[in-house]
Chain A
Amino acid sequence: MITIDQVVKRRRSRTILDHVGFEARPGRVTAFLGPNGAGKSSTLRILLGLDHADSGTALFDGRPYRSLSDPLRTVGSMLEGSGAHRSRTARNHLAWVARSNGIPQRRIDEVLDEVGLTKDGKVRVAKYSLGMGQRLGIAAALLGEPEALVLDEPVNGLDPEGIRWIRGLLRGLADAGGTVLLSSHLMTEVADVADDLVVIAGGRIVTTGTVTDVTAGYGDLEEAFFALTGGTR
């Protein structure tokens, strides 16, 4: 269970997150939607302890991320794509990540296989495409077999086959009782896999609920999205 409550973040005089709060529940895929610059990444960065909130809390089963030891066994995450140094190979990257959380090295082969990078495990990350980088980032997130997954824009740069693959992966994790939270500015790409939607615009949560709740009164999700976020069609 992920609980974000009353999170406020200011940069200089600008308020970029204004009392943001929502939940992501076990057994469900929660999609965090909003236009670029709405505050999705900022919220996830606070959730993962990368940035400080000015006030409010962001917790995993009641605990802040920074208090977790060997966090990869509890939460897998991906922000900023692969998160690997360009001069490393995928294997080298996964090796140190596994080492840092005491995860056995055999998991490296398993996650490379799971994300379809087995053949490219010895290629330097500098030569990776955006889609391959995303797959490597997801591989690292899966290393510790976590019960929660937090992914920032995971479908970015994936081809149609990749998008189909990631939907299956996320569905499978949620069906096994995991908590899945993913952000996206592409609502149609995630609508099929999401159980719950959280929509943010201008640093404020504008609506939360199941896909049916959010689209009620609108023609479809796209119409709902633009009406809620104040965009024009």
Chain B
Amino acid sequence: MNALRAELRKALSLPAVWAGLAVTLFGSTAIAVLNSGRGKTAFETALGGMPLGTVGAVVIGVVAFSHEYTANNADAGGGRQITTTLTVTPQRIRILLAKVMAIVLLVVGSAAVTLPVTIGITHLIVDTTGPGVSFGDAIARCLGGTLYWTLMALIAFAITVILRNGVIPLIVLIVNSSVVSVSFLLSKLTSLAFWLPDVAGLRLFSDVMTVEGALDAGPGGLVMTGWAVVFCVAAGFVFTRRDA
């Protein structure tokens, strides 16, 4: 519990984490506003901003660990925070669990603010014609979207732990979840790509009609969760065994 509170405190006093939270909130809202007036319902327009939330979640997942390895100026000794982290909490699995819980809390918190805000704004500015979603569906897809962000953050985190470097997962996962989805393009070549973590979970929040051949929300969510568990277990295996 002390370790979790320390990790939350660490994360919240880090500018990069606030940048991630800002991308989620303002990025999603901006995309939703830009996409209004394209004939979609208010709810679909709001969820059109989801990729930016994925980017924010990835940023939080990556920097939660990568900042441990940022070196100080050479003329100030060049030390890294990981030394402190591992000496104040020498049980490494405890550190990883505390970080995982801190990431989950931050991402779920960002979703709890962002989704109502974007949905509220799009309802104000989009003239909804035609059938909307039922309340139950809307809640299910919002929860699905939150799960998707959380799992992406944890996958990003685990990859960062394994690589001990945040740059590669940051670039790959941000490009993949915003500019062009490599895994989605792969799915045009082989249906095996629908089992990749980011595509598998797409139907957790997206419109069923948009992705032909993708896994359904339930199985897709399970597959994506499976990926996150595998990555996190691998991270734990590596982190407990190697020298700091």
B90 engages A96 (CB within 8 Å): no
B78 engages A99 (CB within 8 Å): no
Residues A133 and B76 in contact in the complex (CB < 8 Å), given A70-B2, A85-B81: yes
Residues of B within 8 A of A70 (CB): 2
The A/B interface has a contact count, at CB < 8 Å, of 118
Q: Is B3 an interface residue (CB 8 A)?
A: yes
Q: Is A186 an interface residue (CB 8 A)?
A: no
Q: Which residue of A lies closest to B16 (CB)?
A: A87
Q: Is A180 an interface residue (CB 8 A)?
A: no
- A206 to B234 alpha-carbon distance, docked (Å): 42
Please provide the chain B residues from 161 to 189 with a CB less than 8 Å away from any CB of chain A in the complex. none
For chain A, the count of residues having a C-beta within 8 Å of the partner chain is 46
B77 engages A101 (CB within 8 Å): no
Which of the four size classes fits the interface of chain B?
A: 20 to 34
Residues of A within 8 A of B14 (CB): 85, 87-88
Residues of B within 8 A of A88 (CB): 13-14
Residues of B within 8 A of A79 (CB): 79, 83, 87
CB distance from A48 to the nearest CB of B (A): 5
A99 engages B2 (CB within 8 Å): yes
B90 engages A49 (CB within 8 Å): yes
Choose among A52, A69, A102, A156 the residue that contacts B77 (Cβ–Cβ < 8 A).
A156
Q: Which residue of A lies closest to B71 (CB)?
A: A86
Contacts A52-B241, A82-B76 given; 9 further ones with Cβ under 8 A? A50-B83, A52-B243, A81-B76, A84-B81, A88-B13, A99-B9, A125-B76, A133-B72, A157-B77
> Which residues of B pack against A, CB within 8 Å?
2-3, 5-7, 9-10, 13-16, 67-68, 70, 72-73, 75-81, 83-84, 86-91, 241, 243-244
> Which residues of A pack against B, CB within 8 Å?
45, 48-52, 65-72, 77, 79-88, 92-93, 95-97, 99-102, 125-126, 128-130, 132-134, 137, 140, 156-157
